[in-house]
Amino acid sequence: MSRLAWEEIAAAREAIEGRAHETPIMTSSTIDGRCGGRVFFKCENLQRTGSFKFRGAMSTIVALTEEARSRGVYAHSSGNHAQALALAAKLHRVPAYLVMPEDSNRRKVEATKGYGAQVTLCRPTYEDRRATAERVGVETGAQLVHSHNDLRVIAGQGTAVCELLDETGDLDLVLAPVGGGGLLSGTVVAAKHLCPGVRVIGCEPAGADDAYRSLQAGELITDFTPETIADGLRTPLGENTFAILSELIDEIVVVPEEEILPAMRFVWERMKLVIEPSSAVAVAPLLTGQIDVTGLRIGVILTGGNVDLDELRLG
């Protein structure tokens, strides 16, 4: 059995109703023509703070006791979880302490500070992130809200696919990016409950393919240095997300790095949607034919749209 029940996702959906946006679902006849299927894009790039992460952060903050809220929350994040937790905390007058790697997207750092969080920068290694966060937690007495291994967060992330399936009806396939695995874990639990015949595939950049390698090896791999343009997917799986994906996921596909930016640019130009490279990781396999979706109805979660245009070269 997985470590997350459908009932927890249903409760999270009720908790964030009216607090998180019910983001739109968009289609593209051009993309349909390229891949041979019917594709429905869940636009979490239009979510509050620019990514799906607000769902998990808000559902967790809402569930905290008053005593826990008074002590505050902390986490480490490369950007999207940091922004989401900072805003969710601000809306509930909860102190927030975020640890971010010094090579984080500077726009995400600025936004996190702008939401009122106290930001501590650290070296860009997972071990240093974790160690710095532990120190901040001890110093502040705040409660950890892990970006992807917290079951409360995973439940919140699973609400996106619930909205997708409400609008589209049954789907044959759902694609979502995978970094730490929180979104993909919540997605696969919710999707398999609501649409038992659906296949769920995680899409992972080649420069950070620990989820693929972990599932192939049957053990969690965390000792690696990610080198990918998809900065939101540089985090390794956690114990909870590894357990859920090991049980339920149908497949992880590894997307070549050179295919990520062209897919992002294609969505920008043809759909007029600003998505970040992490989102494009789930679009690229459709455009290149890496996944055969001929005749299928496919849902794709566009996870975020937080891009630093000063640093990005689209070619």
Active site positions, annotated: 53, 78
End-to-end Cα, the chain, rounded Å? 46
Task: Report how far residue 235's alpha carbon sits from residue 178's, in angstroms, rounded to the nearest whole number.
Answer: 9
Non-local (6+) Cβ contacts of 259 within 8 A are 284, 287, 288
* Contact assessment for residue 118 and residue 82, using Cβ atoms and an 8 Å cutoff: no
